Every structure is written in structure tokens, then in C-alpha cells.
Amino acid sequence: MSDNTHVVADYQSETYPEFSGKIQDNYIEGYDPVSFAAPHSSLLRTSTWIGMGLILSCLPAAGILIWGLGVWDTPLGTAGDGNYSLTIAIGVISLVVVAIAAAGTIHYGRRFYRQYRKETGRVN
């Protein structure tokens, strides 16, 4: 009779292999790794998503600025008694601060992608 006991030498290493080196060293030439699960993906970083949220947060700051400019242009409108120069200043300052914070956090979140591009020369 035949023996049906197939024994794996090392079940852990054969089931979950660990590759030495960097993952991009094993890419086939011409392969374009755009997977969400790629280790260099910016979409895996919390700071990238916070930066994207901050980009959306530029809208209220721009709205404050636009409101102030509208009151300045048409002072007899619904908010004619307001101080338009203060509103414009708050809008400009908040828009600049939030925009710089958004750009900085997205830049920080994409650091591993820039490192990957520098190491491999890929542009994807």
C-alpha cells in the first residue's frame, strides 16, 4: 500500500513565505504596481487622508473670504453692518493656513512613494 502521509518540512515558511529584499526587486519588467495593497501606496497612509480632508476644509475658509469680498463689494446687502475687512482677513488667513497644512500632510503621506520612485526609477 502507498503511504498518504505527506509531510511538509516547514509548514509556516511554505504557507506564508517571507521574501528577502524589497518587493519591487521581484516585479516582472513592465509590471505597473498600482495596487492599493502595494507597500509604497500613499492611500495606506493616514496623513494622506487627513491632508485630503484638509483640502476639503479649504472650502469653508474660501467661503468666509468670498463672503467678506461680497460685503465689501455690496455694503448695503444683508450684512452691510459687518466689518468686511476683518472677515476678509480671517478668510485669507484661514485659507492660507489650511491650504499649507493640507499640502504638508499630503506631502508627508507620500514620502514612501517618493522613496520608491527614487529607488526604482518608476514613474507610476
Q: Give 43-82 pLDDT, tens digit per residue.
A: 888 999 999 999 999 999 999 999 999 888 887 766 556 6
pTM of the model: 0.69
Q: How far apart are CA 108 and CA 92, in angstroms?
A: 24
C-alpha cell at 71: 460685503
Amino acid at 31: Y
Q: pLDDT higher for 30 or 19? A: 30
CA distances from 50 to 43, 85, 111, 115 (A): 11, 31, 15, 21
